[in-house]
Structure 1
Amino acid sequence: MILPVALIQSHAADPVVKDSPLPSAHAHNDYVHPRPLLDALDHGFCSVEADIHLSQGQLLIGHDPEDLRPERTLEKLYLAPLAARIQSRGGHVYDKKTEFILLVDIKTEAAATYAVLARELELRKTILTRFTHTAIERGAITVILSGNRPTAIVAAQAERWCAIDGRLPDLERNPPVSLMPLISDNWGLHFKWRGRDAIPISDLELLRKRVSQTHSQGRKLRFWATGDSPKGWALLKAEKVDLIGTDNLSALRSFLLEPK
């Protein structure tokens, strides 16, 4: 189904969580967990972050060059297991109505890395969200590029299997949602609050403005470096920030499942 871009918006651990997706749960640096991707899926996470480096023609997973191992590729750790899961679950990561985001953080030079990534995504296009200049055709996995983003290259493509992770200043330019369906930014660059005491009124007003602006344009919103704690999560949840990132899968899962 092709949706107008203006309308695009938005387990094993516990029986109550098994097969129950948590749409706002984002696994920051997912690859550091004992079982990359799989631990996040077992906890119901609907967004996972994978850092990639182009090394000798391969897309290797890791935060820094010294973390890289030849067997830890984007294909082996993420694309292949996701494809297998989708095939076994009737064409979806969780279910038809739940979007699953693979946030690919490019650590090496943007153009060269994307040239290899685009070829790998093309091989998996039957399970990926398709983007054009004016529309989004939802697939089982939505790939969004962060880090060293090849924005101009991606924007010029008439058809592609990924989109770009925007930043707050991009809201003023209001690019097509099919180019930037997600806005992410560093919390500390925009807000004074660090998770202690009450949030200043000025911060709260700015946060609400950014949430409203992002949602009015049909995009999702995420912040990083917010403070990985229940107090920070509670603020983001209350103010309707779409993705809440964490390094602690079980703690965020428990928080999101707490009775309201």
Structure 2
Amino acid sequence: MVTLSRRHAVAALGSLAATVALAPDALAQAATGGPHGGGRVRPLARAHAHNDYEHERPLLDALSHGFTSVEADIWLVDGELLVAHDAVDLDPSRTLRSLYLDPLERLVRRGHGSVYPGHELSVQLLIDIKNTGEATYQELSRQLRRYRRVLSSAVAGGPVRTRAVTAVISGERSARVPMEAEHLRYAFYDGRLDDLAAAEPAPASFIPLISSNWTSSFRWAGVGPFPASERELLHRIVTTAHARGQRVRFWATPDVPGPAREAVWRELLAAGVDHVNTDDLAGLEAFLRAEDS
């Protein structure tokens, strides 16, 4: 199990105090469109913030750009869930609760039941487990129950109750075992193309999302015409998932600003892909709003 030094833990206290002090203003800015206000943000149903925690204001920057899906990588460290991409970057002040769960709960309370006031949609919190899949999920499940008033839930074999935030678990596949054993879950499973092709696929009430590495299925990276066979495959994946009530996301799509990235994004939209993956919040917002105009 990953552990942190005592010196590292003490050094992080100043960072934690600063984060707490800024939280109220930051939440207000997220609800009004950024530090300068200017009206409420219109949410973008297809905008997904990849590695969201690497932005200056995790979660809040994404919300200020209208994103409706954000991704956080978590590590189980000394009984706590820390957010980082790599173990070397772990910081005890950057927990899943402080960066995501607590702010989302406060936003929903302020928004009278919605992250985006006036919009009845559920914001997706994609949680990528980086280590000790089963143990990490067990701690995550324990923490999620504290936020049950804002989180979507499902009873095994029963209906889904959709609320303001929907947690979807990605990363280490071993988390599936304890998830499937739960009678009442406050999280859902991020499937892969193998799950989509299974002879007896799991229902959308357990796997509402199918995610895949773009480069594993497609050679095209936005330069030149999209090969007809690859376009057909993309549409077939989306059509199959949608017929089962599942959404689709691809990671590792081109993300360098320019014509190639926009060409791929347009093909994703044309095929009906549900979540467009990016690290460039402003770039994807501008693209989606222009496409919708």
Who is 2:270 aligned against? 238
Who is 1:157 aligned against? 182
Letter in 1 for 2:284: L
- Taking only the aligned residue pairs, the percentage that are identical comes to 43
Who is 2:30 aligned against? none
Moved over 4 A (4+): 13-17
Who is 1:210 aligned against? 237
Who is 1:5 aligned against? none
Paired residue for 1:130, among 142, 153, 157?
153
Please tell me whether Structure 1 or Structure 2 has the larger radius of gyration of its CA atoms: 2
What is the CA distance between 1:169 and its match in structure 2?
A: 1.3
Corresponding residue SS for 1:183: strand
Who is 1:102 aligned against? 125
What is the CA distance between 1:243 and its match in structure 2?
A: 0.3
Who is 1:147 aligned against? 171
Who is 1:192 aligned against? 219
TM normalised by structure 1 equals 0.92
Q: Can you give the 5+ residue segments of structure 2 that lack an aligned partner in the other structure? A: 1-32, 256-260
1:62 aligns with 2:94: no
Letter in 1 for 2:193: L
What is the CA distance between 1:152 and its match in structure 2?
A: 2.0
Query: 2 CA distance for matches of 1:212 and 1:123?
Result: 36
The answer (yes or no) to whether the contact 1:85–1:93 under 8 Å persists in 2 is: yes
1:12 aligns with 2:12: no
| 1:190-237: CA deviation from partner (whole Å, max 9, x where unpaired) | 112122111111100000100100000000000001112222211111
Q: Classify 1:17/1:196 alpha carbon distance in 2 versus 1 (closer, same or farther; 3 Å).
A: farther
The answer (yes or no) to whether the contact 1:12–1:18 under 8 Å persists in 2 is: no
What is the CA distance between 1:172 and its match in structure 2?
A: 2.2
Paired residue for 1:43, among 65, 85, 96?
65
Who is 1:6 aligned against? none
Who is 1:222 aligned against? 249
Query: 2 CA distance for matches of 1:206 and 1:31?
Result: 32
Corresponding residue SS for 1:127: coil
Query: 2 CA distance for matches of 1:235 and 1:176?
Result: 27
The answer (yes or no) to whether the contact 1:194–1:226 under 8 Å persists in 2 is: yes
Who is 1:33 aligned against? 55
What is the CA distance between 1:246 and its match in structure 2?
A: 0.5
Query: 1 CA distance for matches of 2:150 and 2:209?
Result: 19
Higher relative contact order (CA 8 A, sep 6+): 1
The answer (yes or no) to whether the contact 1:31–1:37 under 8 Å persists in 2 is: yes
Q: Classify 1:211/1:64 alpha carbon distance in 2 versus 1 (closer, same or farther; 3 Å).
A: same
Q: Classify 1:33/1:87 alpha carbon distance in 2 versus 1 (closer, same or farther; 3 Å).
A: same
Q: Which has the higher helix share?
A: 2
What is the CA distance between 1:15 and its match in structure 2?
A: 7.2
Corresponding residue SS for 1:180: coil
What is the CA distance between 1:17 and its match in structure 2?
A: 7.8
Who is 2:6 aligned against? none
What is the CA distance between 1:13 and its match in structure 2?
A: 7.3
Who is 1:111 aligned against? 134
Who is 2:206 aligned against? 179
Query: 1 CA distance for matches of 2:222 and 2:38?
Result: 29
Query: 2 CA distance for matches of 1:219 and 1:99?
Result: 15
The answer (yes or no) to whether the contact 2:138–2:178 under 8 Å persists in 1 is: no
Corresponding residue SS for 1:101: strand
Corresponding residue SS for 1:233: helix
Q: Classify 1:144/1:232 alpha carbon distance in 2 versus 1 (closer, same or farther; 3 Å).
A: same
Larger mean Cα displacement after TM superposition, 130-139 or 198-207 = 130-139
Q: Classify 1:76/1:223 alpha carbon distance in 2 versus 1 (closer, same or farther; 3 Å).
A: same
Letter in 2 for 1:159: L
What is the CA distance between 1:19 and its match in structure 2?
A: 2.2
Q: RMSD value over aligned CA atoms? A: 1.5
